Structure 1
Amino acid sequence: MKWIVRGVITVAALAIVAFVALATWEPFFAHRSAAPPARAYTAEIVRDEFGVPHIYGKTDPDVAFGVAIAHAEDDFFTLQDVIAMSRGRYGAIAGEEGATFDYVYHLLDARGTAERQYPQLPADSRALFEAYASGLNQYARDHADEVKLANLFPVNGEDVAAGFVLRQPFFYGLGNVIAPLVAGEPLRREFGPDIPGFPRAEPAPDAEEQTAMTGTHPLPWGEDAALLGSNAWAVAPERAGGPTTLISNSHQPLRGGVAWYEFSVESEDGWHFTGANFPGSPFPFLGHNRHLGWTNTVNRPDMVDVYMLETDAGGKRYKLDGEWRELEEKTVILPVRFGPITLPVPRTVHRAKHGPAIVNDQGTFAIRYGGIDSVAQIDAYYRINKATSFDEWQSQMARMAIPSTNFIFADETGTIAYIYNAAIPDRPELDEVRANWRGVLPGDRSELIWQGTVDYAEIPKLVNPASGWLYNANNEPFTAAGPGSDLPRDAFSPVLGIEEKQTNRSRRAYKLLTEAGTLDRAALEAIKYDMAYEREGYIDRMWDDLDMMQADGRRGEARDLLLGWDFTADGKGRADALAYLLIRDFMSAEYQNKPWPLMADKLDEAAAHLMTHFGRLDPPLSDLLRLRQGDKDLPLTGGSDTLRAMTTWKVDPDGRLNLVHGDSFIQWVEWPTDGGRVFSRSIQPFGAATTRPGSPHYTDQMQLFVDHKLKPVYFWRDDVLANAKRRYTVTNTAD
């Protein structure tokens, strides 16, 4: 019996050793970053009545240090997630879902790109990023109890830059290419001629069905990025009947790594800007300075090319220009947390001359995308923050360093502009492949491996149109300024891959702007908060389906209710809640080239949900749709694709729809024509203290947001100090 006891003790001891090893290995084997160069930083943070930080410093790096501290005070939780993604360690925090980010981090060689390109940036840009990293390190030292992952800090500027490399391509749809390739599924793209051995694409599955290496989670920002919307308007003073107006109305997730954070900066080096960023950035991505401002909307040009490689029998080499080349292969270890332990999961990533390569059952495919192997965007964003004129601002845009997103611009002189900004690949216009850049290209010809981007002159843009207004609502660039002012479609090469789609938001904005007279504040507010649908596009097709449907019972009752709908999601109609539940899936099918849903099935699902949780088909929309944070629970109106956008939700246990994506940061900017000071207002759905439930600023903007109201932005120092509720200085102790 003693040997049995000894055996049990041995097994138990081995189990304990294994548990300890699995619980502790990851921090010790992870890549460790050198701390930024030692330097003293000092910043003043002034918080207003809404807790929004205004950060001051002698130099720009002082301010960047303060930005990191202020943001960490409000949302260190999310900042750590972003830093973990930027270092390929998110799976050690978020498990399988986080590991998908880490896989893509290695696939795109985000670290290698940062290591190669970050040292080439101008010294002042690098100084900004090193100071920001120092601020994160300082906060982590001072609040060690909040740190999620051992050895996550210190970080340096190169780590922060790697995060930009990882995240930016997903805004123009890279995830919708990587996901099906990893899963071995057809690409959901517009194909040209068939490629031997590769099937013509059928629509891809829903986000919930997209799988990466674990088979359970969608790739980062894969399907979600496609739903990222936004509205933007700029109105010249002669049309506004007063000030030059810029309206930023972004639609982003309300929480997480791509949720907006509002702040203002000012230094003695001339950096003075107010706006918002995503966690992990030292500067705002949109907003205004005293002279000019801009906002963004997601655009979806064809920025990704896929090549099918001809490989040898062992799959170790691929043919290019008649010669065999080694397919680069690297084994990476993904940390995947399961409860108290973190498992080391090996995965292999490949690379060809074209770019990252993915091997699946159908073959080996390489991808190449706009902005590949570049970190120049972080320098360009810094420069446009400090631009003082349209010419200076446009000279930075002309670098084509910021890979994507439309820019709507306005300034103190009354200039307004729309730039269809995209680092579109400079593809050769070869006759035999001209129509197939959206398909799968042969990978054995180096002439198809483009280098660089098209010239700035080739992309669509409008400056000071005769209409006096510009807008974008994630629509094609050929409807931006109204009849007589719009860009001609045939002026741009089809090889550019410019999208040609409309949203309901764009149809409504175009109609309302075209029909309007003076676009003063009241008129623009009515347009911004419009909640109507046009019976066009997917909406028209939906109601045609309903018109043709033969139904009785509950389905027939629901059908008849919808046929009497006024196509307005203002909460006043009996069919608003039913229509809200129904529209999103059909909208997604239209915009994402997914299968058209069966109307009968979706109608039954929506009706069953309402009957289960409300006992009726016609509850008020505001009873169904809620804005919830902490102990606040407020009613909402608006639609998935209306100008007052309430795009995506999660279903709470009580059956209410808890908004998670839609109208987020809104900023309304005005430059008076009499030379007066720029003035702006803003709002966000919750409050400045994004993940601090104990803060009064966790929920203090919610009621204003629900009521379609804005709060003042204190841009000027005298206004900031006059409305200051807290004022303090932060410094670094060591790095």
Structure 2
Amino acid sequence: MTKRLSRLGFLLLVLVLIAFVALATWEPFWADRDIEGSPDRVYTAEIVRDEFGVPHIYGATDADVAYGVAVAHAEDDFFTLQDVVAMSRGRYGALAGQEGAGVDYAYHLLDARGTAERHYPELPADTRALFEAYATGLNDFARDHPGEVRLANLFPVNGMDVAAGFALRQPFFFGLNAVIQPLVENEPLRPEYGPAIPEPRAPEGDGIAPARVIREDDDQASNRAYPLPWSEDGTLAGSNAFVVAPEKSGGPTVLVSNSHQPWRGGVAWYELVVESGEGWHYAGANFPGSPFPFLGHNEELGWTNTVNRPDMVDVYKLVLNDDGTQYRLGDRWLDLEAKTVTLPVRIGPVVLPIRRTVHRSVHGPVIVNDSGAYAIRYGGMDNLGQLDAYYRLNKAQTFEEWEAILARMDIPSTNFLYGDREGNIAYVYNAALPDRPAGPDWRGILPGDDPRLIWSGPVDYSQLPRYFNPASGWLYNANNTPFTAAGRGSDLDPGDFAPELGIELKQTNRSRRSWKLLSEAGTLDREALEAIKYDTAYEMTGYLEDMYAHLRALDLSDDPELARARNLLFTWDLTADNIGRADSLALLMVRDFMSAEYQNGPPPDPREELEAAVDHLMTHFGRIDPPMSELLRLRQGDVDLPLDGGSDTLRASTTWTVEPDGRLAVRHGDSFIQWVEWEPGERVSSRSIQPFGAATTRPASPHFADQATLFVQHRLKPVHFWREDVLANAVSRKRVTSGR
């Protein structure tokens, strides 16, 4: 009997080991495939790095340069590039576990691969050549550095794989995740950011349109509170952008790009300069997985972007038959498409295969939950034209050429602020706004059986809000409504735009400060504009006014310590400049009130927020008034520096990680800053800065955090745009060739 039990135990152990090995090894073999790589073409690029490690990439052709972009970026951050490639192939869960599986679910739900397969072959040959060259660069680096490859059979990739990553990520920039997630979890859709129907113009007193107050009867208008893409906590972080005409600056056309992105990860900026023998010469930054910059400048013109939040998503409730296999559309019953997909989910050393079913209707992706079946339709759906549009924008030489590319409506969202050598400035509220018929309540859940509600594409470009050379001489955006952008007398009237366009009306503190400071300025020379860009003040309105009203209403007679903290907040000078005694306490308090207003959610409990802030400061500092410079930090490896700015100030320190010592390590806020100037009769010049350095995941690199000190000091470094300047400041120079 004992021998039999022993043999049985041994057999069970063997079975467990077999199961363990199977779960530890199945995913790479399951994901293996034969791909059609790039044609037998040899790419050659020169990579010259300046004193800050920024790569300057040269090639005879644009495709040669794209190959070099991939190699240079992989040298600096191959870790993140692999995350992006895994997302682009629906395998991120094998790297990032349950969180990654959520991205893979979206990949299948949105049919990112299908979009690429349908439309990548339709792209112009020279655009596809860029993507094939870029993929080849990634493949070559993976081949030459096998010890850095984190997931077996992730490479080789081809241009279509890279394109699928674009199809996956773009919708999240206007907040599609805030619709998908609650539907998947069978939760109510969150309130919208702003109404589809424009409100009256701002009162003449302050020039700023009021924030919308959600009415009690707005419970159907529930699906527009969009956080930024890949946001970890749903807090809205944004960007600032400024452009000033020569007559207002006293000399040059000035373009200031002040993007707020995560400092690490798949949507962190990577700075580069590219130049080819085919006329591509551009300085700016891209995201991992892109062969070209998304913002910056060439010799003649430049632009920057800020995230906008138009109503781009419509939700339809389908009428299903009894067994849920068909839905009604008009007087017809159509089959509900169903496809079972496998999501790899890493848990420790094993990867579990999780099966899920994704659905589609003629409307678009469908999510089935306990409340029914909901179809989603969004602007830019099933369009891959942005891959070509960004490439063409890089090479545009005049405003007319540049705007004609935008007018194609291939880039689904983001504001564009523009400046050029000729002194022109412009702002386009770029969005592939759905061409909706007037009448229905597009803010609510729509009847899925009415075919008249299925719009076919975007509105015409002429219907978008647009500014060109306003009388004020300046333009800005800080993730706010486009109806405050150029100052009193130059701002657009919201009443001139159809309500079904769904153009946002929300304001931010950064917008209020920008509008006020720009309007009050005389000449916007470099000194004046720098003071605005690095401004750390809040306006006592909106969520901040609400926070103080809630604090004043508290009865704190039972807790003298909380009463003392509240009194300290009442002395705050409304700046996050590391000077006032109340700065640290205010920094901890403001963020959640800001987030609640941005998401149109209920404000947090003021007593709980105050208790948490006091507890944090007392626990880690032994006082409620430590200098904010001791609390808010820039940390990267051994670098540990003080930061200023708040969650919604023009000098932005937006979100942070609470470290074991109680310090707040900023992870999201001011990121890539670029300052471009076209002086009359002179060549373009620019300066830039990032929080860390060019090699953010390479601790051994001298460029792991070599820009950090300049960043915290509000200083910029030179951008070496011209080749002679690059070579004069080069610290390394090498030639890379494919296949070697």
TM-score normalised by the chain length of structure 2: 0.95
Which residue pairs with 2:697 in the alignment?
Answer: 691
Q: For residues 326-357 of structure 1, what are the alpha-carbon distances to aligned partners after superposition, in whole Å with 9 as ceiling and x for unaligned?
A: 10001100000111110000011000000000
**Counterpart-to-counterpart distance in 2, 1:201 and 1:438:** 5
Q: Distance in 2 between matches of 1:182 and 1:128?
A: 37
CA distance in 2, matches of 1:625, 1:226: 18
Specify which of 659, 663, 672 is matched with residue 656 of structure 1. Answer: 663
- 1:287-436 aligned at under 5 Å gives the runs 287-429=296-438, 431=439, 433=440, 436=441
How do 1:244-263 residues align onto structure 2 when only pairs under 5 Å count? 244-263=253-272
In structure 1, the partner of 2:604 is 597
Residue 215 of structure 1 corresponds to none
1:44 is the counterpart of 2:49: no
Question: CA 1:21–1:220 in structure 2 vs 1: closer, same or farther (change >3 Å)?
Answer: farther
Distance 1:31 1:488, change over 3 A: farther
**Structural mapping, 1:531-570, within 5 Å:** 531-552=536-557, 553-570=560-577
Residue 228 of structure 1 and its aligned partner are, at CA, apart by 3.1
Deviation at 1:685, TM superposition (A): 0.1
Deviation at 1:548, TM superposition (A): 2.6
Q: Cα–Cα, structure 1 residues 130 and 723, in superposed 2: closer, same or farther, change >3 Å? A: same
* Distance (whole Å) between structure 1 residues aligned to residue 127 and residue 97 of structure 2: 34
Alpha-carbon offset, residue 200 of structure 1: 4.0
> CA offsets, 1:506-558, max 9 Å, x none?
00000000000000000000000000001011111111222333324111011
Cα displacement string for residues 607-647 of structure 1 (whole angstroms, at most 9, x for unaligned residues): 11111111111000000000000101001111110000000
Rounded Cα–Cα distance in structure 2 between residues aligned with 1:165 and 1:274? 25
| Alpha-carbon distance change, 31 to 179 in structure 1, aligned in 2, over 3 angstroms | farther
Instruction: State the AA in 1 paired with 2:637.
Output: G
Q: Which residue of 2 aligns with 1:214?
A: none
1:24 aligned residue? 25
- Which of residues 503, 516, 521 is equivalent to 1:516? 521
1:210 equivalent in structure 2: none
What amino acid is aligned across from residue 406 of structure 1 in structure 2?
N
The 8 Å contact of residues 226 and 599 in structure 2, kept in 1 or not, is answered as no
The Cα shift of 1:223 comes to 6.6
SS of equivalent to 1:682:
strand
- Contact kept, 8 Å, 2:261 with 2:669, in 1: the verdict is yes
1:588 maps to which residue? 595
String of CA shifts for 1:434-480, please: whole Å, max 9, x gaps. xx111110000111111110000000000000000000000100000
User: Structure 1 pair 298/220, CA: closer, same or farther in 2 (3 Å)?
Assistant: closer
- 2:679 pairs with one of 669, 672, 677: 672
* Structure 1 contact 569–638 (Cα < 8 Å) conserved: yes
Out of 714, 718, 730, the position equivalent to 1:724 is 730
Q: 1:598, CA displacement in angstroms?
A: 1.4
Match of 1:474 in 2: 479
Q: Distance in 2 between matches of 1:16 and 1:562?
A: 60
Match of 2:5 in 1: 4
Contact 2:174 2:226 (8 Å CA) reproduced: no
Partner Cα separation in structure 1 for residue 546 and residue 23 of structure 2: 54
Alpha-carbon spacing, 1:135–1:205, altered in 2? closer, same or farther (3 Å): closer
- Could you tell me whether the CA contact under 8 Å between 1:507 and 1:534 is conserved in 2? yes
CA contact (8 A) 1:170 1:225 kept: no
Question: Are the equivalent residues in 2 in contact too, given 1:110–1:162 (CA < 8 A)?
Answer: yes
Give the conservation status (yes or no) of the 8 Å contact 1:36–1:155.
Answer: no
Residue 452 of structure 2 corresponds to which residue in structure 1? 447
Letter in 1 for 2:146: A
How much does 1:600 deviate?
1.2
Letter in 2 for 1:581: L
8 Å CA contact 1:100, 1:220 repeated in 2 = no
For the residue of structure 2 that corresponds to 1:227, the secondary structure is coil
SS at match of 1:505: helix
Displacement of 1:221: 2.4
In structure 2, C-alpha distance between the alignment counterparts of 1:282 and 1:225, rounded to whole Å: 29
For residues 217-261 of structure 1, the C-alpha deviation after alignment (integer angstroms, 9 at most, x for no partner) is: xx9626757613000000000000011000000001000000000
How many percent of aligned residue pairs carry the same amino acid? 68
Seen in structure 2, the aligned counterparts of structure 1 residues 328 and 380 have a Cα distance that, compared at 3 Å, is same
**Residue 172 and residue 204 in structure 1: after superposition, are their counterparts in 2 closer, same or farther (change >3 A)?**
closer
CA contact (8 A) 1:547 1:563 kept: no
**Letter of the aligned partner of 1:149 in structure 2?**
L
Give the residue type in structure 1 aligned to 2:23. Answer: L
Aligned partner of residue 596 in structure 2, secondary structure? helix
Quote the RMSD (CA, aligned, Å): 1.7
Q: Mean alpha-carbon deviation: is it higher for 78-87 or for 315-324? A: 315-324
Aligned partners of 1:35 and 1:339: how far apart in 2? 33
- Deviations 1:4-25 (CA, angstroms, capped at 9, x unpaired): 2221221111111111111111
CA distance in 1, matches of 2:234, 2:666: 17
SS in 1 for 2:103: helix
Which whole-Å deviations, capped at 9, do the CAs of 1:332-384 have from their partners, x for residues lacking one? 00000111110000011000000000001110000000110011001000000
Give the one of 555, 577, 581 matched to 2:584: 577
Query: Is the 2:339–2:357 Cα contact (8 Å) retained in structure 1?
Result: yes
Give the aligned partner of residue 460 of structure 1.
465
1:35/1:366 CA distance change after superposition, 3 Å: same
- Asked if 2 retains the 8 angstrom alpha-carbon contact of 1:173 and 1:226, the reply is no
Task: Please give the per-residue CA displacement for 1:100-154, whole angstroms capped at 9, x wherever unaligned.
Answer: 0000000000001100010000000000000000000000000011000000000
Name the stretch that deviates more: 5-14 or 449-458: 5-14
Alignment CA distance shift 1:199-1:37 (3 Å): same
More off after superposition, 538-547 vs 661-670: 538-547
Query: CA 1:201–1:453 in 2, change beyond 3 Å: closer, same or farther?
Result: closer
- Contiguous gaps of at least 5 residues in structure 2: 198-217
Distance, in Å, in 2 between the alignment partners of 1:347 and 1:140 is 31
* AA of the residue aligned to 2:17: I
Cα drift, residue 205 of structure 1? 11
Alpha-carbon distance in 1 for matches of 2:225, 2:22: 39
Correspondence for 1:130 among 107, 129, 132: 132
**Aligned residues of 1:295 and 1:407 also touching (Cα < 8 A):** yes
Q: Is the 8 Å Cα contact of residues 173 and 225 (structure 1) preserved in structure 2?
A: no
- Which letter maps to 1:622? S
Aligned ranges 1:17-166 → 2 under 5 Å: 17-30=18-31, 32=33, 33-166=35-168
**For the residues of structure 2 that align with 1:186 and 1:192, how far apart are their CA atoms?**
19
